[in-house]
Amino acid sequence: MTTKAPSTVKPAPGESLEHIAYASVKNIPTVEPHDQDRLGYNIWRWLKYRRDPLEFAVKTSGSRLLISEEETVRKVRENLMQLGVTE
């Protein structure tokens, strides 16, 4: 039995919210890569809607972090500022 190759993924443009969100969590230590993806998705939602504080987005992501939530929020906030996002 054969399987098809996975579909190619077109990277998001550098200034898009998706790119900014996932770049902001790129260096956050997590148990596995999917935890980083979940965190990136929640940061993207936060950037798009801005309904809750950033702390809430980190907490509700359900990501298994290897550092504290407070440290994660601090790092994400710093990364977002470096990427040109201000709160």
Q: With 80 as the cut, is the pLDDT of residue 2 above it?
A: no
Residue-range definition of the domain harbouring residue 25: 17-82
Q: The tokens 């992501």 sit on which residue?
A: 61
Span of 6-10, 32-36, 63-67 with lowest mean pLDDT: 6-10
Phi, psi of 12 (to 5 degrees): -70, 150
Does 23 reside within a domain? Answer: yes
Does 71 reside within a domain? Answer: yes
**CB atoms near residue 52 (< 10 Å):** 12
Instruction: Say what the pTM is.
Output: 0.84
Q: With 70 as the cut, is the pLDDT of residue 1 above it?
A: no
pLDDT in tens, 10-58: 777 878 999 999 999 999 999 999 999 999 999 999 999 998 999 999 9
**What is the domain count for the chain?**
1
Contacts of 72 (CB under 8 A, 6+ apart): 28, 39, 58, 65
